[in-house]
């Protein structure tokens, strides 16, 4: 059951990506909204940018909030088989993150990762609580994977509720804590600053809807993700399948993420606070440029035949991400209670994350 092992080792990197996404309630695509906004001309840019900046600044005063995130990803490489499409699913948002001064709770529905392997009606859920002294991880629903293959090497993901003692991890282990608990969401003030700094060509199609562009990398970073970690998670499957050097491929992905321009739609609530960020990125250029990178990716000098084969395999490849992040800034939001009974798996989590390259 190697597929389960590969999915497990890429799980939290997937979560880092998915946390920068949202739900399916958006009623217009970024392209459609951009078309509407362009009719107003560039004269509205300064007023629209100032209005959006004010709304984001007002939103940043909120201490407790909930982020609901999902993404729709299309990967179509005709020479390598059927296209892979993970659609927005209102019943299975990728993550629901609750942020309070007391800690952060993340509910991760992994149906989009494991759904094709699971019995009808089943899903796999992971919950984490990042608290001042510990991280708690609930992987109880991983039992369904164990039922499918009792010998599956789940490691610290085996069914149960585990804890990571932050005192034993130490102050130098912040990257490990992030790898275990997932990327911590940005504060609303940091998010506001990143969106204001990263957005170009801001237009408004109404008092509540703004459009603009920013690099795919800037969006991921604005949502609290570590760009290199996200690039590595995206690149790891290709590196494994083709024997490419994963470090070099990661650097290439980072370069492309910084170059790709994403279409952004920001929607405000009825009271003028941040409600939704909807981003569409076309990353197909990764595969358009890949043949030119073969020499640096492969051990030894590739032959003309090898370069031609890569060109053939990735011709007409399509890779797009449609990501939505929704924000609930309702006053009085509280952190969900963590399970009282836990098993200390600190050493196991450290060993697993180091062995699989999530931390050094």
| Residue ranges for the chain with pLDDT beneath 50 | 1-44
Q: DSSP string spanning 142-211?
A: GHHHHHH-TT---GGGSSSEEEEEHHHH-GGGHHHHHHHH-PPPPPHHHHHHHHHHH-EEEEESSSSEEE
The pLDDT, as a whole number, for residue 177 is 67
> Which is it for strands 261-268 and 161-165: parallel, antiparallel or unpaired?
unpaired
Q: What is the pLDDT of residues 237-284, one digit of tens each?
A: 788 778 888 899 999 999 999 999 999 999 999 999 999 999 999 999
Q: Exposed (0-12), middle (13-18) or buried (19+): which is 210, by Cβ within 10 Å?
A: buried
The pLDDT, as a whole number, for residue 122 is 82
Q: How many residues does the chain have?
A: 360
Which segments of 285-345 does DSSP mark as H helices, in order? 285-289, 294-297, 304-313
Could you tell me where the beta strands, DSSP code E, fall in 39-184? 65-76, 84-86, 95-100, 103-109, 125-130, 134-138, 161-165
**8 A C-beta contact, residue 302 and residue 294:** yes
**8 A C-beta contact, residue 350 and residue 169:** yes
pTM of the model: 0.77
Q: Which residues contact 265 (CB under 8 A, 6 or more apart)?
A: 26, 28, 30, 33, 34, 209, 210, 211, 276, 277, 278, 279
Cα separations in angstroms, 8 against 112, 234, 315: 13, 14, 30
Q: What is the pLDDT of residues 156-208, one digit of tens each?
A: 989 999 999 988 876 555 666 666 666 667 789 999 999 999 999 999 988 89
The b-or-e profile of 22-34 (16+ CB within 10 A means b, else e) is bbbebebebeebb
Residue 254 to residue 216: CA distance in whole angstroms: 10
| CA-closest candidate to residue 142, choices 114, 170, 169 | 114
Residue 293 to residue 5: CA distance in whole angstroms: 29
The pLDDT, as a whole number, for residue 29 is 39
């Amino acid at each position: 059951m190697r597929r389960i092992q590969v999915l497990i080792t890429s799980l939290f990197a997937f979560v880092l990506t998915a946390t920068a996404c949202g739900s399916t309630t958006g009623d217009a695509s970024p392209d459609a909204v951009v078309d509407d906004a362009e009719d107003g001309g560039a004269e509205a840019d300064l007023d629209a940018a100032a209005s959006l900046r004010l709304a984001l600044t007002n939103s940043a005063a909120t201490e407790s909030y909930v982020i609901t995130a999902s993404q729709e990803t299309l990967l179509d490489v005709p020479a390598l088989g059927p296209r892979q499409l993970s659609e927005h699913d209102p019943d299975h948002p990728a993550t629901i993150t609750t942020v309070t001064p007391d800690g952060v709770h993340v509910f991760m529905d992994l149906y989009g990762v494991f759904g094709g392997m699971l019995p009808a009606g089943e899903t796999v859920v992971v919950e984490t609580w990042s608290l001042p002294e510990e991280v708690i991880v609930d992987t109880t629903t991983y039992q369904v994977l164990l039922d499918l293959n009792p010998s599956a090497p789940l490691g610290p993901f085996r069914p149960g509720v585990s804890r990571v003692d932050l005192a034993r991890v130490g102050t130098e282990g912040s990257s490990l804590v992030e790898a275990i608990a997932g990327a911590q969401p940005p504060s609303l003030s940091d998010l506001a600053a990143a969106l204001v700094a990263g957005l170009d060509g801001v237009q408004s199609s109404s008092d509540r809807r703004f459009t603009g562009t920013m690099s795919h990398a800037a969006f991921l970073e604005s949502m609290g993700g570590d760009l290199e970690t996200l690039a590595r998670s995206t690149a790891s499957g290709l590196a494994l399948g083709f024997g490419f050097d994963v470090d070099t491929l990661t650097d290439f992905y980072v370069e492309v993420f910084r170059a790709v321009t994403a279409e952004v739609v920001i929607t405000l609530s009825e009271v003028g606070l941040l409600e939704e960020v909807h981003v569409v990125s076309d990353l197909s250029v990764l595969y358009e440029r890949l043949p030119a990178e073969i020499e640096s990716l492969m051990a030894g000098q590739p032959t003309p035949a090898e370069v031609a084969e890569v060109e053939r395999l990735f011709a007409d490849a399509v890779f797009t991400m449609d990501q939505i992040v929704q924000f609930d800034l309702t006053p009085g939001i509280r952190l969900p209670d963590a399970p009282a009974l836990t098993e200390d798996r600190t050493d196991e989590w450290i060993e697993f994350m180091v062995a699989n390259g999530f931390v050094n």
